[in-house]
Structure 1
Amino acid sequence: MKRNKLLFTLLSVFFSVAAMAQDCMVTLSLFNESAKVKNYEDALPKYEQLIAECSDSKLLLYQRGEKMLEDLIEAAETKEEKLSLVEKYIKNQNLRLKYFPEKTNNADVLESIALIKYKNKIGTLEERLEAFEAIVKEDADNFDNPVALYAYFRTANTLNDKGKRDIQFLFDKYDEVIGLLETQENKKAAQAQPLIAKEQNNEELTRREKRILKNSEIYLRNYSKIKGSVNGLLGSKADCDNLIPMYQKDFDAKKTDIEWLKNAASRLYAKECTSDPIFFKVVEAQNKIEPSAKTALYLGRLAQENREMNKALDYYKQSASLEESKSNKARVFYSIAETYKNMGSYSSARSYYRKALNIKPSLGAAYLKIAEMYAKSANNCGETSFEKRAIYWLAADYANRAGRVDPALKSNAAAAAESYRARAPQKTDIFQEGMSGKTVTFSCWVGESVKVPSY
């Protein structure tokens, strides 16, 4: 008898759960149809019922819920209504992360929560800042929304403007946000780089490759615009006219404070305030307390300022060997390349530009510098006038790459490429020499080849 009662109870529970699951699916279907056509008056009560009773049913609930709540927040007429809807939105995102973690990008959810608070001025400035900081803490590598990155820095900038955070806090946030932007730029440039090279070699891209290249270039343009906007917000707060007197005033009191020295040297170097004596004083004090990759870099810059190029190279190479940050190492390699270029050692310069590009594929300036060196080598690369001028096609290809991986350089890169192409053999030259579609190989230091346009 007891066994029969237990069996009856288990069957009752089973059928009850099955019926509830069936009810959830029916309600979800009705909600989906209403939300899809933006009939939110009908959809919202069903959504609230599903959240209360069927929160682990389907991912679709949260996908449709997110869009519906975004639209309702936008249309809300009162502050109270907007606040209530934002709370629902945040709950929607957190529940999605809870019940469907494998189908949810953690950073995307945190970005959406931070942005909804930012756009609707929910909470204090500090609370909004904390929402963005949570993304950095939880999933910095995937913090890739350009609008969210800008909003993060703008929130920090507002706190500084209102006197609630000091200028060093703002500098730290600037470095952090620029670092996050450059991480994403490098990811997209790394995707685009081989496809751009393939295109320039006249190889056909697959449909998938064309889509990847298009999306990468869209993101690169957006990151470039956001970087410009972030720099615009920082503006004159970080120019030499403000930094130099500020650090001069504080130096005597702070000259044994290693963190202050690091920050001061970093900021002065980044803004190219390196010719002022305060830079030497700060670097010298930092190097006495804690020699590092950074101090070697700064000492290299000082040697370069004094035109001691070999000494500068020694310091730069020491810095590169000590530097652990990939992004910083790329900058050091670029400095080494620039020094070799200025010394006329083009092959060595190209080697270090390429090392910088291997680490930081979005460093379009390196492509422009290689293009410039190729163009300057025209008279030394080739036996005939045609061969010598052919190197300008190669220079133009490198200039074009610069604008594609770094949209901020697009205008300058396009102008440079056009100038190089104008100096390359023209259609009549190609016909006269019978070179249409052929390949010219450069046996000088360049060691590359270029295909002559076919006519």
Structure 2
Amino acid sequence: MKTRVTLILLALFLSFNVGFAQQDEECMINITLMSDYAKSKRFDEAYEPFMKVRNNCPKYSYATYAYGDRILKDKIEKATGAEKVAFINDLMKLWDEGLANFPDKYTAGGNLQDKAMLKYDYREALGYGNKQVYDAFDELYKKSPESFTNPKGLYVYFSTIVDMFEAKEVEVQDVFNKYDDVIDKIGQEVDNYTQMLNPLVEKEEAGETLDAKTAQYKKQYESYLDNYEKISGSIDSKLGILANCEVLIPLYKRDFDKYKDDSVWLKRAVNRMFSKECTDDPLYVDLVKAYDASAPSADTKYFVYNLLMKQGKEREAKPYLDQSYDLEKNPLKKAALAMRFGKSLRKQGNLGAARNYFQKSLELNPSNGRAHIEIAQMYAASANSCGDDHFSKRAVFWLAAAEARKAGRVDGNLKSYADGVAANYEGSAPTRAEIFSKGNGGEVIKIGCWIGLSVTVPKI
């Protein structure tokens, strides 16, 4: 009896093993077929083996989801009507299956971002209006803001609420609030990529050569930063005439008593009034004072500084500029603050102090090529004032050109522009014939006034 039971159990065990082996073999065959077809972009032929693997052995290989994504996107592109919608929904379902079966390859936030982009791209096929598109991105922003990194998605998120305002579906304050949310988010992403980029820039500036993989990372970081800059400009354009003094002043006057102790509201109100040049209205003074009283910070001290400068109180204003810089502890924010101060001082004609702040910005953020451009432009603009004779005045342009070329080295997105600026300055410097005539090739020329540097005449 025992022998019989043992034989039965052995037979069952073998049959199960054979079954599993057959299933594994079928999965392997279908994975191979799917992969081969997909690699050669024969997506229609890849669909059947893909669905077999997806349904029969969902945990067998991540390739099911990687290639399945491409296969279903091809189906979506080719389909129309209800079939198109079905494939769109199936692709979103596939992403959820991928998260369940390969959680190391997917994230819930990443899926939300992909779904929001898909809904936007196919909003017409899905019959979605602005509200449904906005809600998809809003869900991502609220549930997983750290995953919301797509520059185009951030633009769509804001652009859609502007469209909703124009359709009288939301209030103008809702648009302003979302603008601030999105700009803050872009700022976070810019800081993130800048922090990753800066060490690579410093290596190159130190004479090191980046390996192929690291150079590719550098290119990617620069690309993201370029995209975020473009998106920021597009968002400002989309905001357009909504954020003008005629709209802002009555709005903030209405809400001032309600929010006069709310530092976030005050910060946003002051920033917008300042950026839109609504600073002549008495309300701006009230906003700045309330902001500085509620949450003294680098920002508040800078706004007080500008307020006093506008009133002609330069001596009283200066300490606020220093306080603003000292209060900021975040290196990248401090670098941005130094840029802001440099530009302000440049407008006032205080070029030496302006350069000092641009250089501080570079110390904190070495990939900030725009600081080099600002310095180069100041050198070029001062050529007639900082040389002793015609030759030395034009020699200043060599300094300007060298500074401009630094911008292109540290910021790949500026290289073409910086090289063009440098070439233009070099065209204004002494010619080879003039150097030959003067016979001073290789000589060091001291540049006076606020520049206080030396430049070596090229040898010919």
State TM-score, norm by structure 1: 0.80
Name the structure 2 match of 1:423.
Answer: 428
Deviation at 1:433, TM superposition (A): 5.7
Q: Take 1:284 and 1:239, find their aligned partners in 2: how far apart are those partners?
A: 22
Aligned to 2:89: 87
The percentage of aligned residue pairs carrying the same residue is: 33
Residue in structure 2 matching 1:29, options 10, 29, 32:
32
Q: What corresponds to 2:113 in structure 1?
A: 111
Distance of 2:255 and 2:176 partners within structure 1: 17
Shift of 1:75: 2.2
- How much has 1:395 moved relative to structure 2? 1.7
Q: CA deviation at 1:279?
A: 0.7
Q: Which residue of 1 aligns with 2:272?
A: 267
AA partner of residue 163 (structure 1): K
Q: Distance in 1 between matches of 2:356 and 2:146?
A: 29
2-structure distance, mates of 1:219, 1:151: 17
1:256 is displaced (CA, Å) by 5.6
Return the alpha-carbon distance in structure 1 between the equivalents of residues 342 and 104 of structure 2: 44
- Residue 243 of structure 1 deviates from its aligned partner by 1.4
CA–CA distance in structure 1, aligned partners of residues 282 and 414 of structure 2: 32
What is the distance in 2 between the residues matched to 1:9 and 1:233? Answer: 69
Residue in 1 that maps onto 2:167: 162
Give the Cα separation in 1 of the matches to 2:405 and 2:187.
Answer: 20
The Cα of 1:108 is off from its aligned counterpart by: 5.3
Contact 2:27 2:53 in 1 (8 A): yes
Deviation at 1:89, TM superposition (A): 1.1
Deviations 1:107-134 (A, max 9, x none): 6544322110111125664553343345
Per the normalisation by structure 2, the TM-score is: 0.79
Determine if the alignment matches structure 1 residue 314 to structure 2 residue 316.
no
Equivalent pair of 1:185/1:362 in contact (CA under 8 Å): no
SS of 1:165's equivalent in the other structure is coil
Tell whether the 8 Å contact from 1:327 to 1:360 is kept in structure 2 after alignment. yes
1:29 shift after superposition? 1.4
1:176 to 164, 176, 181: 181
Higher mean C-alpha deviation, range 26-35 or range 106-115: 106-115
Which has the larger Rg? 2
Which residue of the other structure, out of 355, 366, 373, is the alignment partner of 2:371? Answer: 366
Q: Report SS of the residue matched to 1:164.
A: coil
Q: CA deviation at 1:282?
A: 1.9
Aligned pairs for 1:206-225 (under 5 A) are 211=216, 215-225=220-230
Query: After the TM superposition, which residues 276-315 of structure 1 pair with which residues of structure 2 at under 5 Å, given as runs?
Result: 276-315=281-320
Aligned partner letter, 1:120: Y
With 223-232 and 128-137 compared, the bigger mean Cα shift is at: 128-137
Equivalent of residue 48 in structure 1, options 47, 51, 56: 51
Q: Which moved further from structure 2: 38-47 or 268-277? A: 38-47
Question: For 1:64-99, what per-residue CA distance to the aligned partner results, in whole angstroms no more than 9, with x for missing partners?
Answer: 211222222222210x22221111111222333343
Q: Structure 2 vs 1, CA of residues 137 and 435 (structure 1 numbering), >3 Å: closer, same or farther?
A: farther
Q: How does 1:61-76 map to 2 (within 5 A)?
A: 61-76=64-79
2-structure distance, mates of 1:109, 1:187: 21
Q: Is 1:337–1:349's contact at 8 Å kept on the other side of the alignment?
A: yes
Question: Where does structure 1 lack aligned partners over 5 or more consecutive residues?
Answer: none
**Equivalence for 1:354:** 359
Q: CA RMSD in A?
A: 4.2
Q: 1:248-267 maps to which residues of 2 (within 5 A)?
A: 248-251=253-256, 255=260, 260-267=265-272
Shift of 1:327: 5.5
Contact 1:189 1:361 in 2 (8 A): no
Match of 2:312, SS? coil
- 1:280 Cα offset (Å): 0.7
How many angstroms apart in 2 are the aligned matches of 1:442 and 1:97?
65
Find the aligned partners of 1:259 and 1:113 in 2 and give their Cα distance.
31
Query: Deviation at 1:305?
Result: 1.4
Map 1:130-141 → 2, pairs under 5 A: 130-136=135-141, 140=145
| 8 Å Cα contact 1:189-1:405 kept in structure 2 | no
Equivalents in 2 of 1:143, 1:352: separation in Å?
Answer: 33
- Listed as ranges, the gaps of 5+ residues in structure 2 are none
Alpha-carbon separation, structure 1, partners of 2:209 and 2:434: 27
Match of 1:128 among 122, 130, 133: 133
Q: CA–CA distance in 1 between the matches of 2:122 and 2:276?
A: 35
Match of residue 146 from structure 1? 151
Cα deviation for residue 49 of structure 1 reads 2.2
Q: Which deviates further from its counterpart, 209-218 or 239-248?
A: 209-218
What CA deviation, in whole Å up to 9, does each residue of 1:294-342 have, x standing for no partner?
Answer: 4323212211212323433322333344446666444432333334445
State the distance in 1 between where 2:147 and 2:65 align. Answer: 21
Q: Go from structure 1 to structure 2 and tell me whether the alpha carbon gap of 1:286 and 1:199 turns closer, same or farther (over 3 Å shift).
A: closer
Matched residues in 1 for 2:294 and 2:353: separation?
33
- Supply the distance in 1 between the matched residues of 2:453 and 2:17 (Cα, whole angstroms): 73
Matched residues in 2 for 1:426 and 1:378: separation? 16
